[in-house]
A = this chain, B = another copy of it.
Amino acid sequence: MWERSHIQKAGLDMSHTIREIAQLAGVSKSTVSRVISGKGYIHPETRDAVLKVIEELQYKPNAVARAMVSQRTHNIGVLIYRREYPIASHPFYGKIVDAILATAARMNYSVFVTTDHEMSLRSADFMLEKRVDGLILISRLQQNVIDYIHNFGIPYVMVNGSTDVDNVVHVVNRDQDGGMMAAEYLTGLGHRRIFVLAGPQTHRSHYLRLHGFRDYLNGIGSPLDPSSLAYPQASTFEQGYEMMQQHWPDFKSGGYTALFATNDMIALGAMKFLIEQSVRIPDQVAVIGFDGIDVASIYTPSLTTIKVDTEAMGRTACTLLDKLIDQQPVNELDIELVPELIIRQST
């Protein structure tokens, strides 16, 4: 049986306070504070003496106490709504989180990461009570959660979501343009019979991607036939597979030469089914997805896709949030990022 006290003893000793430093250096705590912050006048000799004690005791300023008086925690929260997947390992949102983590670190913010499924208000409450300086809301959170946060009066930025509230900073992908890019690319390759797997149309992204795609086809006078469309209920691999399976008879008889899915996971699921049916990709059927998740690049065949700039999403969200926190003016409320066509083996 082993008790924690052992570990405790192993450490040199628990953390010190500014008062102890002051005492040992023979100065007042105000002076120590001045040395640490670098503000105000201080005699070089005094500074060195204080610095020496700080070094010796391995003193680390208490950020909690600091936050208490400065009313700034230098913490931000990331709140994600996900039903299907947990957050961090989500192939798409995880990338955004990564970018936020990297950018926030550079800006000296620590990041609370929270996933919110079901308990909704509880996780928001948590962040609010912890007095984060600001929040980044990812994906489509329930409106009541947004209102709740909004009413608390804390700065926040929405990523890849939408809300009814006005005057909120949004960072989104130009999904409609991306849809058009996909259509332009496929038709440019000569494809005319294209099957489309469109994820939940209640989702802003899926909706816009489909519409961009459709608009382009309309524009070139080759409109999308309703029978060429299927709607997976969720934007998952499994749904992609099942939907493809379900529509396989029509697909075969329909003379389709290409497939567009409104996200990569659906595309991959569909592709798996096609491969299992010994369909040669891209020779018999070309496949294009949307998102640009990592898996798409390592699949066999690797998946052509419209890549969302998740790095920029996270980075921009962070930068804007920092501005809001600093009360700096933000001259654009809606940041729209341009996606990129990544051509791979599947087309």
Q: Which A residues lie at the B interface, using CB under 8 A? A: 1-8, 10-15, 58, 60-65, 67-68, 73, 75, 86-91, 94-95, 97-99, 101-102, 105, 110-115, 119, 123, 125-131, 150-155, 165, 167-168, 237, 268-269, 271-272, 275-276, 294-295, 298-300, 323-324, 327-331, 333
Contacts and interface: CB of A to CB of B under 8 A. Distances in A.
Contacts of A299: 299-300
Nearest to A236: B298
A87 to B, nearest CB: 6
Contacts of A95: 86, 88-89
A335 to B, nearest CB: 13
Nearest to A73: B64
Contacts of A295: 295, 298
A275 B300 contact: yes
A62 B131 CA distance: 7
A89 B89 contact: yes
22 contacts: A6-B167, A7-B155, A8-B153, A10-B150, A10-B165, A11-B150, A11-B153, A15-B152, A15-B153, A62-B131, A63-B129, A64-B68, A68-B68, A87-B101, A89-B91, A89-B294, A91-B294, A97-B113, A101-B114, A105-B114, A112-B112, A272-B298
Contact of A98 (B14, B67, B89): B89
Contacts of A128: 15, 60
A298 to B, nearest CB: 5
Considering the complex of A and B, which 7 residue pairs feature the smallest CB-CB distances, nearest first?
A: A11-B153, A89-B94, A86-B98, A88-B97, A88-B88, A88-B94, A63-B129
